Amino acid sequence: MGLAFEGIANTAAPAFWQALLNANELTNPEFSFFITRFVNDPSADGEEEPGGVFTLGGTNSTFFEGDPDFQTFTSSATGGSFWLQTISGE
């Protein structure tokens, strides 16, 4: 179950999320990630601590406060590219 766009996928098949979207199986045309980070935390146990959550069809509000920052990846509509996003230190 890769996340690669069809144009660059080894299988040349639509990604799992794209197939669900095309079949109208998602509540919303979005997905979200919650990624756990343990930077310089000697008490974090890599085998016991959760690594993160991938949510299809929306967001899981138990993992954040405030409004989410939705990002659009326009390159997906032009034949598929890698997941690229401009970020800043702000």
The whole-number pLDDT of residue 80 equals 61
State which amino acid sits at residue 85: Q
**pLDDT tens digit string along 44-78?**
666 666 678 889 998 888 888 899 888 776 554 44
In the chain the beta strands, taken as DSSP E runs, fall at: 31-35, 52-56
pLDDT in the model for residue 39? 65
Asked if 7 and 14 touch (Cβ cutoff 8 Å), the reply is no
pLDDT band at 25 (very low <50, low <70, confident <90, very high): very high
DSSP 18: H
Residues 6+ apart with CB under 8 A from 51: 35, 36
**Contact in structure between 8 and 80 (CB atoms under 8 Å):** yes
pLDDT at 66 (0 to 100): 92
Higher pLDDT: 47 or 84? It is 84
Looking at the DSSP bridge assignments, the partners of residue 34 are 53
Q: What is the three-class DSSP state of 39?
A: coil
Model pTM score: 0.61
Cα separation, 85 vs 33, in Å, equals 14
